[in-house]
């Protein structure tokens, strides 16, 4: 009989665009004893988590709760709960995850209309608004922070325009929530999906969502409570019921709301983790947290430029929590990544599609977004590039980053 040792995971410095290092306080929270899902102590934690999500999403929406599953579970829950067969959905694609929105919308029976631009660019907001007017979709589904390219799509004009046109705006904010501003109410976004494993610094396994009464009206019109828990007055006959049981937001409302109608068994330890991750975000302060991410982004970019490397996403629409570097000509990008991991215990990412083998991606997200991590990855990357005979400027990377940190420290003292 084969015997197995207990898990001995190696220590890593994770500098990818997700997953990132979980905050140690989150990991401690996950060791909290299990409670029953309807224990008053646990339902109180559920209520607190909903309130903290509202603050993090910057919304007054009644509905803000996690879907149990990785980030795409939240995307699928929102889209499959809203889309009825034949509904028009417009998807602007500027990277890998626009294609994911398309895939889920198509599988939900939508008539999908696409806009595409080159990877590394984003859309002018007016161009999207004009296409919304032309297509007249039920839903505009768009990515906010595209980790495959390190770019961020502006939304502040799109949301109000869609509201005026009667179009629902569904936003994938998986990469941005907790690291940059996601102003759900101010931007008039109807449904927004987040993820735990990026700037919230919680292990992958939950997808926070929030949505407004415009979305709720559609959910309620499609609501069909499952037979095993239905009570008097619950509808069983609906023209176009939500096709998924697990991802049925109308039933999840009854689970997270005062009714507490049983749907699934809540992922107890993950809820502990999410609650603690959100508590830490609010304890730090949203603006202070966003500023921390901007500071470490600037230090990282200065260090990479100091080495003589070319940034792929050095543009006005850069996603602050992901920095993309063009792989120098003649350098084996995967060999560099392998040496960083094997010799230094640092993980950075490659990319997808047309950018595969063209760029490296470094994430500065959540708990991974710390000065020691930025300096460590710069020092290690320089050492590895020297071993790969890359044409870089030796000795300047860490120094340029230190100039950023010391400049900020000096301004604080003054």
Give percent of the chain above pLDDT 90. Answer: 94
Residue 239 binned pLDDT confidence (cut-offs 50, 70, 90): confident
- Reported as a single tens digit per residue, the pLDDT across 14-68 is 999 999 999 999 999 999 999 999 999 999 999 999 999 999 999 999 999 999 9
Q: Which CATH architecture has domain 23-281?
A: 3-Layer(aba) Sandwich (3.40)
pLDDT score recorded for residue 409: 73
pLDDT score recorded for residue 228: 87
Which of these ranges, 226-235, 319-328, 380-389, has the smallest mean pLDDT? 226-235
Which of these ranges, 14-28, 285-299, 366-380, 397-411, has the smallest mean pLDDT? 397-411
pLDDT score recorded for residue 412: 61
- Reported as a single tens digit per residue, the pLDDT across 187-196 is 999 999 999 9
Task: Sketch the domain layout of the chain as residue ranges.
Answer: 23-281, 285-413
- Reported as a single tens digit per residue, the pLDDT across 80-105 is 999 999 999 999 999 999 999 999 99
pTM reported for the whole predicted model: 0.96
Fold of 285-413: 3.90.1150
Residue 225 · residue 219 · CB < 8 Å: no
CB under 8 Å to 277, separation ≥6 — which residues? Answer: 23, 26, 178, 196, 200, 201, 202
Q: Kindly report the average pLDDT of the chain as a whole number.
A: 96
- Reported as a single tens digit per residue, the pLDDT across 95-145 is 999 999 999 999 999 999 999 999 999 999 999 999 999 999 999 999 999
Q: What is the mean pLDDT of residues 212-218?
A: 98
The residues with which 360 forms a beta bridge, in sequence order, are 325
Whether residue 414 has pLDDT greater than 50: no
- Reported as a single tens digit per residue, the pLDDT across 335-394 is 999 999 999 999 999 999 999 999 999 999 999 999 999 999 999 999 999 999 999 999
CB under 8 Å to 46, separation ≥6 — which residues? Answer: 65, 256, 266, 271
């Amino acid at each position: 009989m084969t015997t197995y040792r207990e898990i001995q995971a190696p220590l890593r410095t994770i500098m990818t665009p997700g997953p990132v290092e979980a905050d140690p306080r989150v990991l401690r929270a996950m060791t909290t004893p299990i409670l029953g899902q309807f224990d008053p102590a646990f339902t109180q934690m559920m209520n607190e988590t909903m309130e903290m999500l509202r603050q993090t999403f910057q919304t007054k929406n009644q509905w803000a709760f996690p879907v149990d599953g990785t980030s795409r579970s939240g995307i699928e829950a929102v889209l499959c709960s809203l889309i009825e067969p034949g509904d028009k959905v417009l998807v602007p694609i500027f990277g890998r995850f626009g294609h994911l929105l398309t895939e889920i919308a198509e599988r939900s029976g939508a008539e999908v209309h696409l806009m595409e631009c080159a990877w590394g660019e984003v859309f002018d907001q007016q161009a999207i608004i004009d296409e919304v007017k032309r297509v007249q979709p039920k839903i505009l589904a768009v990515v906010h922070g595209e980790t495959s390219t390190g770019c961020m799509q502006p939304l502040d004009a799109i949301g109000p325009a869609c509201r005026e046109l009667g179009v629902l705006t569904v936003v994938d904010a998986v990469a941005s929530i907790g690291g940059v501003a996601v102003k759900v109410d101010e931007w008039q976004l109807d449904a927004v999906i987040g993820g735990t494993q990026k700037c919230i610094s919680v292990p992958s396994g939950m997808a926070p969502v929030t949505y407004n009464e415009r979305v709720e009206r559609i959910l309620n019109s499609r609501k069909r409570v499952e037979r095993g828990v239905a009570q008097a007055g619950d509808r069983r006959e609906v023209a176009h019921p939500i096709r998924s049981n697990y991802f049925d937001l109308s039933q999840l409302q009854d689970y997270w709301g005062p009714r507490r109608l049983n749907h699934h068994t809540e992922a107890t330890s993950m809820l502990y983790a999410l609650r603690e991750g959100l508590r830490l975000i609010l304890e730090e302060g949203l603006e202070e947290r966003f500023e921390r991410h901007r500071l470490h982004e600037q230090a990282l970019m200065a260090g990479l430029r100091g080495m003589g490397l070319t940034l792929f996403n050095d543009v006005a629409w850069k996603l602050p929590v992901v920095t993309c570097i063009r792989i120098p000509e003649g350098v084996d990008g995967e060999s560099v990544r392998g040496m960083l991991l094997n010799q230094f215990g640092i993980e950075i990412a490659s990319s997808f599609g047309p950018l595969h083998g063209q760029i490296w991606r470094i994430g500065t997200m959540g708990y991974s977004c710390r000065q020691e991590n930025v300096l460590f990855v710069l020092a290690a990357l320089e050492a590895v590039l020297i071993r790969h005979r890359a044409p870089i400027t030796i000795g300047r990377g860490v120094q340029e980053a230190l100039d950023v940190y010391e400049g900020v420290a000096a301004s604080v003292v003054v």
